[in-house]
Structure 1
Amino acid sequence: MHKTLGWRDHIFINVYWLGLSISAGVITPVLLPYLVTLFVSHDQKNTYLALLRVAGLAVAMLVQPLSGMYSDRSTHRWGRRRPFIFWGTILDLVFLAIIGASVLFIGSELDQTIRPLLGFSAAFAVLLLGLVLLQASSNTAQGAQQGLIPDLVPDNQRGTSSGVKSLFEILPSLLAVFIGPIIDAGRIWLTVGIIGGSLSLTMLLTMIFVREEPLREKPKRDNSSRALRIFALTALFVGVTQGAVWLIRSGGLFLSSRDVSTDMQIAIMGLSGLIVMAGSILVGVYFGARVGIGEDARSNTPFVWWIINRLLFLAAVGSILGFFQFFISDVIHVENPATMTTILLAIVALFLIPSVLGGGYLADRIGRKQLIAFAGLISTAGTLLLLFSRAMPMVIVSGCLLGVGAGTFMASNWALGTDLVPPKEAGRYLGISNLAGAGAGIVGAGIGGPMADFFNRIQPGLGYLVIFAIYAGLFLLSVVVLRGIPEPNKSPGQ
């Protein structure tokens, strides 16, 4: 029986989320775009940023659940979770150093060997290697970290502990404001050092102050079938996305060869991009649900529609933030894009926090679906505003709207999901949505990056407007698919 925990316990159980969130909040939206601009040509940077995102997310999608699964069975004397957190962080430091060292390979003689083989420079190859390895080690630690609340926190205190976790996940968006100028100044090693120091400090606090009861006997259940399902789901999302990218590229080349007007290319390719992204999500979720929960997927279609709603929204909001630094550099023409990106992320966080808190309160009173629909509509408005933004004040207003939408969605969508799953199988069902969450990034960035470069070659800056319009369409579709989900405590036929 668990003892009642105090605030100190909740803080130390969740403090490693602060290190993880600082790492993700700096590397993905700020550091990677900066390094990509150094390593690849201007007209291919979105495609190569998408390659980094897809490779990293595919590794995360594979490693994180496997780590959680195998930490469940660990009989280490430190406990089930902390050995994975410790060694994952130690490896993080090594792989962060590889990312930092990538700048040393700019103009390297190795380019003569690597570029003909891989199609990109040695510096980018080192960056890709470091990122993939970092995702493997970081998600090894994160997969285990996710088990600390279920392991150590009593049922009646998990809401409090989850609130502390959410705070640690949002707080780095405010702290990153101080890192943007460092990146703009080209001080990559200092940036990598800050990330590594954050991970190390929070790992040490976890190791020292969190107490786990070692597992005396390894569970007898066999995880091989579940591991195979995870491999299959990862391969599915990557395969579907790469197939969609091939279709988009082939269509673009065909239209260009036919001397089709720019306006017609925008209309055809933009609509095709929206259909392909949404279709990739539908196909991925359908087969992902069949792989994850088998025949039960047919009898719980509202849950499947809930995952589709979640992926449509997350694919849009995550991709917008991922390409934002290139947008303000190429369209708004700011001189310090990394700094301005961190400022916008902080503004989004300032609007996200009260929206999460207020959204959770309202979700229990006016209904989950209404709030999710509001989140989709307000996010659509914020994204469409970006299409007409030519100065930072309008971009900031757009960021405020996206912050409100994302915060409201975070509070209400997960609550709806917990209403839809069978109580005795919540872990199995919700685990599918966690796996598919990485799939959203694979779809949104993997398809959006090449599309942005295609249209930017036609007219500088045009690509961002096209993909942002597509992401606005994904937000709207996330509202439409709510029709397939009944209100909680109602049957699908009502």
Structure 2
Amino acid sequence: MLSAFWFGTAFHWLVLLLILMPANVETFVGSASKGTYLGALVAIGAVMALVLPPLVGAQSDRTGRRLPYLRLGVGVNLVGLAVMGFAAMTLSGMTGFWVYVLGFLLVQFGNNYATAPYSALIPQLVPPEQRGRYSGVMAMLQAAGQLLGAVAAFVVGLLKLPVVVSFVLIAVVLLLPALVTMRGIPEATGTAPIRAGGRTLSVTELFAHQAFLWVFVTRVLFALGQYSVQPFLQYYNRDVLGQRDAGTSTSIMLACIIVGSILSALVGGRISDRVGRKPVIYVAGSTMAVAALLLLVAPGYEAALALAVLFGLGFGAFTSVDWALGSDAMPSASSYARDMGIWHVAFVAPQMSSAPQGALLDWGNARGGNLGYTLVFGIAAVFFMLGVLLVRRVPDRAQRTQLAH
């Protein structure tokens, strides 16, 4: 019940960010500046994701409620999808692009409005000794949502269905699991009130807490690695791998990544409950870095698909401990939503790097030899390895400190 919303959100962002937005942006602005405009669009949305979750989370902590924020956020998210779909279907040129931007801002507002209060339910409801296992469950459902998204995008592309079909699918698959969560989690029935515990830390005190600081920093680095590559994967399929139907080939590649992540997600979470979170992250980050570098020299599409499975194995292992590591690092139960909102910033703020990365991609490719892809994929590998190195600073078990009132 708790993880259902994460399933819908995973489907939502995979299809929107990796399939629809790259294709729609190129239609609006042309191929010469596609990387720059796509990177700018992702970065503009990241500003909303940077500011909103901590503010909404703090309000949720004050009111002691989670679900009203989830309901309103999902509603605004659906309105934003409708605006984006309208722009993609009926408008063209820069006029269409700016209406599309407006819709994307609404999507970001709604989704992030819901995220911080929702995220607080995890440390609130799941005992520390079970967080690795259930972080793995969340990772499994996230991967399943992404796999369904990749399959849906492949089918839509294969059947040459109009773009409105994809936007309707995103809306439906977001809404139905959200309803499952809103109707099924204990807070909805009043059986699990928010547990008090500890005073609310200032933001400065929160980052002075070593476990939270280093979990935040390492999550930023892993997200920077992800967003150095993820938004441009469709362009890589066409420009480097020579795939004419880049949307379909990207869907297949994403499916390979997701299959790999499913294989490692639940195993990684259970292992982390026994040996700690850090050993799992060491293996996961190193695997993703190696796969990112090898993609630059993949001799063909089939080899790239094999590397996508390898990357997925690392990504699934990382996501299997991500929620557990973040939940373990929360120092005070009285501010779960605000603190999880700040922790969420570590994942969304790096989306802003897509703007300079997109410009770097276009600059490098203009000089020939697919130099742009070499630069952004190489930068991704560096970020992953920095995350591996610095996660050593996180305590072996980031126990929550119960602070005196």
* TM-score normalized by the length of structure 1: 0.69
Deviation at 1:132, TM superposition (A): 0.5
Matching residue of 2:190? 213
Contact 1:183 1:191 in 2 (8 A): no
Q: Could you list the per-position Cα deviations for residues 178-223 of structure 1 after superposition, in whole angstroms to 9, with x for gaps in the alignment?
A: 223425736211111111122332344445555343999xx9xxx9
Matching residue of 1:329? 238
Show the 5 A alignment for 1:273-284.
Answer: none
Alpha-carbon distance in structure 2 between the residues aligned to 1:161 and 1:364: 10
Alpha-carbon distance in structure 2 between the residues aligned to 1:149 and 1:419: 10
Q: What is the identity, as a one-letter code, of the residue corresponding to 1:432?
A: I
Matched, 1:193 2:178: no
Contact 1:380 1:472 in 2 (8 A): yes
Which of residues 318, 342, 367 in structure 2 aligns to 1:432?
Answer: 342
Gaps in structure 2 of 5+ consecutive residues: 400-405
Deviation at 1:149, TM superposition (A): 4.8
Alpha-carbon distance in structure 1 between the residues aligned to 2:35 and 2:286: 27
Alpha-carbon distance in structure 1 between the residues aligned to 2:357 and 2:153: 27
Matching residue of 2:403? none
Alpha-carbon distance in structure 2 between the residues aligned to 1:86 and 1:467: 37
Which of residues 142, 160, 171 in structure 1 aligns to 2:144?
Answer: 171
Which of residues 30, 36, 54 in structure 2 aligns to 1:65?
Answer: 54
Q: What is the identity, as a one-letter code, of the residue corresponding to 1:94?
A: V
Alpha-carbon distance in structure 1 between the residues aligned to 2:226 and 2:318: 11
Deviation at 1:165, TM superposition (A): 3.5
Gaps in structure 1 of 5+ consecutive residues: 1-10, 112-120, 227-291
Matching residue of 1:317? 226
Distance change in 2, residues 1:309/1:148 (3 Å):
closer
Residue aligned with 1:146, SS = helix
Distance change in 2, residues 1:477/1:293 (3 Å):
same
Of 429-438 and 190-199, deviating more is 429-438
Of 458-467 and 13-22, deviating more is 13-22
Matching residue of 2:213? 304
Contact 1:181 1:338 in 2 (8 A): no
Deviation at 1:347, TM superposition (A): 1.5
Contact 2:73 2:114 in 1 (8 A): yes
Q: What is the identity, as a one-letter code, of the residue corresponding to 1:145?
A: Y
Matching residue of 1:46? 35
Matching residue of 1:33? 22
Q: Could you list the per-position Cα deviations for residues 383-432 of structure 1 after superposition, in whole angstroms to 9, with x for gaps in the alignment?
A: 11111024211211221221121122233455555566646688466553
Count the aligned residue pairs.
Answer: 389
Matching residue of 2:72? 87
Residue aligned with 1:179, SS = helix
Matching residue of 1:347? 256
Show the 5 A alignment for 1:113-262.
Answer: 121-149=94-122, 162-176=135-149, 177-183=151-157, 185=160, 187-209=162-184, 211-213=188-190
Alpha-carbon distance in structure 1 between the residues aligned to 2:218 and 2:25: 31
Deviation at 1:27, TM superposition (A): 0.4
Alpha-carbon distance in structure 1 between the residues aligned to 2:53 and 2:147: 26
Deviation at 1:148, TM superposition (A): 4.5
Distance change in 2, residues 1:382/1:83 (3 Å):
same
Q: What is the identity, as a one-letter code, of the residue corresponding to 2:225?
A: A
Q: What is the identity, as a one-letter code, of the residue corresponding to 1:60?
A: A
Distance change in 2, residues 1:190/1:318 (3 Å):
same
Matching residue of 2:314? 405
Percent identity for Structure 1 against Structure 2? 31
Distance change in 2, residues 1:23/1:487 (3 Å):
closer
Q: What is the identity, as a one-letter code, of the residue corresponding to 2:42?
A: R
Contact 1:100 1:188 in 2 (8 A): yes
Q: Could you list the per-position Cα deviations for residues 412-466 of structure 1 after superposition, in whole angstroms to 9, with x for gaps in the alignment?
A: 45555556664668846655322222112223x2321110011111116321121
Matching residue of 1:97? 82
Matching residue of 1:256? none
Deviation at 1:62, TM superposition (A): 2.1
Distance change in 2, residues 1:391/1:303 (3 Å):
same
Q: What is the identity, as a one-letter code, of the residue corresponding to 1:433?
A: W
Contact 1:368 1:416 in 2 (8 A): yes
Q: Could you list the per-position Cα deviations for residues 45-77 of structure 1 after superposition, in whole angstroms to 9, with x for gaps in the alignment?
A: 1111111111112212222333333344458xx
Deviation at 1:370, TM superposition (A): 3.3
Contact 2:225 2:383 in 1 (8 A): yes
Deviation at 1:343, TM superposition (A): 1.8
Q: What is the identity, as a one-letter code, of the residue corresponding to 1:45?
A: K
Of 462-471 and 193-202, deviating more is 193-202
Q: What is the identity, as a one-letter code, of the residue corresponding to 2:170?
A: I
Contact 1:68 1:144 in 2 (8 A): yes
Alpha-carbon distance in structure 2 between the residues aligned to 1:374 and 1:160: 18
Matching residue of 1:285? none
Matching residue of 1:252? none
Distance change in 2, residues 1:362/1:212 (3 Å):
closer
Contact 1:74 1:215 in 2 (8 A): no
Contact 1:385 1:394 in 2 (8 A): no
Distance change in 2, residues 1:14/1:303 (3 Å):
closer
Deviation at 1:489, TM superposition (A): 8.9
Distance change in 2, residues 1:106/1:400 (3 Å):
same
Of 37-46 and 135-144, deviating more is 135-144
Alpha-carbon distance in structure 2 between the residues aligned to 1:153 and 1:390: 45
Alpha-carbon distance in structure 2 between the residues aligned to 1:201 and 1:489: 34
Larger relative CO (CA 8 A, sep 6+): 1 or 2? Answer: 2
Q: Could you list the per-position Cα deviations for residues 71-129 of structure 1 after superposition, in whole angstroms to 9, with x for gaps in the alignment?
A: 44458xxxx3333333333333322121111134544xxx6xxxxxxxxx111111111
Contact 2:222 2:383 in 1 (8 A): yes
